[in-house]
Chains A and B, each alone.
Chain A
Amino acid sequence: MQTEERRQQDHKIRKDFPLLTEDIAYLDSAATAQKPETVIDAEAVFYKQYNANPLRGLYQLSVEATNRYEEARECVRAFIGAASTEEIIFTRNATESLNLVAYSYGMHVLREGDEILVSIMEHHSNFLPWLQVAQSSGAQVRFVECDGQGRITEERFRAALTPRTKLVAMTQISNVLGCLNDIALFARIAHENGAVFVADGAQSVPHIPVDVQALDVDFLAFSGHKMLGPMGIGVLYGKRALLQQMPPFLYGGEMIEKVTRTGATYAELPHKFEAGTVNAAGAYGLQKAIEYMQQIGLETIQEREAFLTQYAYAKLRETPYVTIFGADDPAEHHGILTFRLEGAHPHDVAAILSDSGVCVRAGHHCAQPLLQHLGVSSTTRASLAFYNTTEEIDRFVEVLQTVRRKLGHAE
């Protein structure tokens, strides 16, 4: 694509995002994405036009609210290729989705002697719930590690599985290395081994097409706020047969069929897992986010992100004293560049970048086992989305090149 054409595309996209002005270079989309106007407005529209408690009222307004909520569920279903809306559960975020699986599935099914296999690159959200399940059930957590390029090979995966492995939890894209794990392959191998496969899609669903039936995962968790949607709405996909066997996660209103003094029967899927008043406005906003992504086009999103990643990788690579973690091939980074600048602590790097309006993340990125594996206690991470520009990357790298001097190092 020609530079001029790209500029026009930049402009066209960025005018939809009120927060993306000249003042900042927002390079922290892996933490949370910026929101287009239609998403920001959606919640206001919901509260102005449709607000009533969904799934409850018998009057027209409540029916409207229920319709918006259920339309959003259908939108999510189609977006990830699920077989039925019964398989789409709204939660607060990926973390809650993963906890739901851990508590309602893991705690009930896993037994002493069983093994849970997690990858070393899991976000704490897809690790700590399993540690908890292990502690209560007597099951054991085992790790599959990645190589120096951040790759989990088929060989490594097979070697980490044992006949006792009953559950595998793995992220599709690492929030630190940016690498894409071959979830379809690993899910197939896990199934042959008799294990259930839980995928964390928090970093993948916002950036690449994800089809749960093609991947054949048993569960997939992701967050609305990382895919242009509002904070406070997330999704758990689960295969119907598994969800049906599972007991509820939270108990209370909206998730029951009949309650007596001594017990209750529970609502059908997906409501069995959505106790209490739901975040209907958030779901409506998430639908608008998905529609916006579809309007831009997932192909355009991927093309732009691949281009920007390549551009940023090359620039960072040329910067003296910088070490980038993960693969040597930028195509394997999916917008995520985690690095160290020699002689500068990541928190100082982020603070100095911040003086010039450059927003990056510094720290352990909620993936401490991975950082220990990499032999560092903290790193700096720049993460890109399709709405970023080469100008933002230039600004980032220019300021990065001044950091060592600002910290008192001679050139």
Chain B
Amino acid sequence: MQNNSFYNEILTEHNLHPYHKHGLADANLELEGVNPSCGDDIILRLKVVDDVIVDGAYEGEGCAISQASADMMLDLLIGKSKEEGLRLADIFSRMIKDKISDEELEELEEAGVLADISHMPARVKCAMLGWRTFREMVE
């Protein structure tokens, strides 16, 4: 039987006590991301200055995976350039859908705990929601 080992402390902590789940008054980018079939719904806000993501936040509701994934994503993105953010989004997406190298996994920091989602195809879109919204926003 496949075990959903991704329900670990890191994930539940980001879900129950998120660092970045709040409004962002001086955001200059905002986009809503929705998974209509399961009701996951986030609004992602970024403040980007000279192509650098200086701040970011999200609001919304959904399963633990969608919410924690968005929170962990913002941990990674804040302070990085858009370019760098997109590169990480690509690594994350490959991790969830396929495989990545150990070095790449390290780059994802805590977001790497979602690697096992690849065994639960129905939950891939939950993990991807934040990242997908980010991509759409900056691309």
Contact = CB atoms under 8 A, between A and B. Distances in A.
A and B physically associate: yes
Interface of A: 23, 344-348, 351-352, 354-355, 357, 363-364, 377-378, 406-409
A142 B64 CA distance: 37
B37 A363 contact: yes
Interface string B99-121: 00000000000000000000010
Contact of A377 (B7, B9, B39, B126): B39
A378 B61 CA distance: 12
Nearest to A357: B1
Contacts, number: 51
Contacts of B123: 347, 351
A407 B39 contact: no
A347 B7 contact: no
Interface of B: 1-4, 7, 9, 12-13, 15-16, 37-39, 62-65, 120, 122-123, 126
Contact of B1 (A344, A351, A355, A406): A355
Minimum-distance CB pairs A-B, first 5: A408-B12, A377-B39, A345-B63, A347-B63, A348-B64
Given A348-B7, A351-B123, A352-B4, A408 B39 contact: no
B38 A407 contact: no
Nearest to A347: B63
Contacts of B7: 348, 351-352, 406-407
B83 to A, nearest CB: 33
B3 A409 contact: no
A364 B35 CA distance: 12
Contact of B13 (A344, A357, A363, A408): A408
Contacts of A344: 64
Contacts of A355: 1-4
Given A355-B1, A364-B39, A378-B39, A348 B65 contact: yes
Contacts of A407: 7, 12, 15-16, 64
A408 B9 contact: yes
Q: Give the interface centre of A364, A407, A408 by most chain B CB atoms within 10 Å.
A: A408
Residue among A351, A352, A363, A377 having the largest count of chain B Cβ atoms under 10 Å: A351
Contact of B62 (A345, A354, A406, A408): A345
A347 B12 contact: no
A346 B39 CA distance: 10
A347 B4 contact: no
A408 B38 CA distance: 22
A348 B7 CA distance: 9
